[in-house]
């Protein structure tokens, strides 16, 4: 290039913008096109990218798309700070032809990572005034480690009933569901309780939103009587094992002899039995003493292979 030759007018244009919001620590991709008014091929020209503090180095690759022409694809990582952050992209100068381009500023709103909660292994029902345990876990949407953070269970008024620390390893089969076992005490009243688990996320390394999730607990009076249920196949009298038996809130599964025993308080219950391939009508029964109930399970024809579980 001679000294008299003016620089080529060049434009850096954002073709594929970032998402409106990006969680802290998350990676996102933008695409920019670099064009020269004189028609120079710039798609492999190096770009200088100034990133916010903590965002790390951006990864850039040159490519081509039939819809938007030659462009640079840039993978960026959101910094570990919530707020508006700006990346500035400039064209690195070469030794042959000088190109003059205004740097492109890309502003991104960085938000906290979200968390989700899970509650499982809730006994049903629990007995009035007695202790029981549940499992509760928290998961970062970005799969960040939550080991050692506090999770708590609360009653309807928000009073904390139990606290636990999330363990070192996620629940088996999950990528990042960190969990704890919480020991609770059932209230001295019969009925359903709507409680919650809460995760404040105040001491997590990267900013996270807190979360809360409701769960229900069915509280029953102490058992007074033992109900034994025997299920046999209609027409053959063969025992029906591995059938689910529900007596009101109480559940059990039949053994290979077709027997299941359930301890319940005195009262009137709907007795329901379910197993794929069988149909047993729901029976209303009164329990005022220990008793044996024998039921026949009709085989469901193959064209209707699943009996519907009715509550």
Q: E-assigned strands of 167-290?
A: 177-185, 191-199, 211-220, 225-233, 244-247, 250-253, 259-264, 267-274, 278-279, 283-287
Q: How far apart are CA 107 and CA 104, in angstroms?
A: 10
Residue 1 has a pLDDT of: 47
2 is a domain residue? no
User: Order of strands across the sheet with 259-264?
Assistant: 259-264, 225-233, 291-299, 278-279
Q: Which domain holds residue 211?
A: 115-220
Series of mean pLDDT values for 10-residue runs along the chain (311 residues): 71 91 94 87 80 86 62 90 94 75 93 96 92 97 94 95 96 96 94 95 89 95 94 94 92 95 93 94 94 94 58 45
Residues 57 and 141 in one domain: no
Q: What CATH number does the domain containing 244 carry?
A: 2.60.40.1120
281 is a domain residue? yes
Residue 91 has a pLDDT of: 85
For the four alpha carbons of 62, 90, 33 and 100, in that order, the dihedral sign comes to negative
Q: What is the DSSP string of 39-107?
A: ----TTS-EEEE--TTS---EEEEEEETTTEEEEEEEEE--SS-EEEEEEEEEPP-SSS-EEEPPEEEE
Beta bridge partners of 5: none
3 is a domain residue? no
Residues 143 and 208 in one domain: yes
**Residue that terminates a domain, selected from 179, 197, 220:** 220
- Angle subtended at Cα 25 by Cα 139 and Cα 117, rounded to the nearest 5 degrees: 10
Residues 215 and 233 in one domain: no
Write the CB contacts of 204 (distance below 8 Å, at least 6 apart in sequence): 140, 144, 146, 149
Residue 45 has a pLDDT of: 74
Residue 63 has a pLDDT of: 67
Three-state secondary structure string covering 224-246: CEEEEEEEEECCCCCECCCCEEE
Residue 65 has a pLDDT of: 58
**Residue that terminates a domain, selected from 220, 243, 262:** 220
**Residue that terminates a domain, selected from 200, 220, 240:** 220
Distances (CA, A) of 256 to 59, 137, 232, 259, 294: 62, 35, 11, 7, 15
CB atoms within 10 A of CB 124: 13
Residue 311 has a pLDDT of: 45
Q: What CATH number does the domain containing 53 carry?
A: 2.60.40.10
Residue 308 has a pLDDT of: 53
Split into its structural domains, the chain has a count of 3
């Amino acid at each position: 290039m001679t000294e008299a030759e003016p620089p080529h007018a060049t434009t850096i244009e954002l073709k594929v913008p970032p998402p409106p919001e990006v969680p802290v620590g998350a990676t996102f991709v933008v695409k920019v096109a670099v064009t020269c008014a004189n028609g120079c091929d710039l798609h492999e020209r190096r770009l200088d990218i100034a990133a916010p503090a903590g965002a790390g180095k951006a990864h850039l690759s040159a490519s081509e798309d039939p819809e938007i022409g030659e462009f640079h694809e840039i993978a960026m990582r959101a910094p570990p700070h919530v707020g508006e952050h700006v990346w500035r992209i400039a064209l690195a100068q070469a030794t042959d032809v000088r190109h003059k381009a205004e740097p492109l500023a890309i502003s991104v709103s960085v938000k906290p990572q979200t968390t989700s909660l899970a509650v499982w292994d809730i006994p049903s029902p629990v007995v009035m005034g007695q202790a029981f345990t549940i499992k509760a876990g928290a998961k970062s949407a970005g799969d960040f480690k939550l080991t050692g953070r506090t999770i708590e269970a609360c009653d309807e008024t928000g009073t904390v009933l139990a606290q636990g620390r999330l363990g070192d390893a996620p629940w088996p089969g999950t990528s990042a569901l960190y969990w704890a076992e919480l020991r609770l005490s059932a209230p001295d009243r019969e009925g359903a309780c709507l409680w919650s688990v809460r995760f404040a996320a105040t001491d997590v390394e990267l900013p996270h939103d807190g979360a809360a999730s409701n769960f229900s607990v069915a509280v029953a009076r102490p058992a007074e009587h033992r109900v034994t249920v025997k299920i046999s196949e209609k027409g053959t009298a063969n025992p029906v094992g591995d059938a689910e038996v529900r007596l009101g809130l109480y559940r059990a599964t039949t053994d290979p002899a077709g027997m299941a025993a359930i301890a319940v308080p005195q009262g009137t219950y709907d007795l329901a039995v379910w197993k794929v391939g069988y149909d047993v009508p729901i029976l209303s029964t009164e329990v005022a003493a220990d008793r044996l109930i024998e039921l026949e399970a009709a085989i469901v024809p193959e064209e209707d292979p699943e009996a519907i579980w009715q509550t």
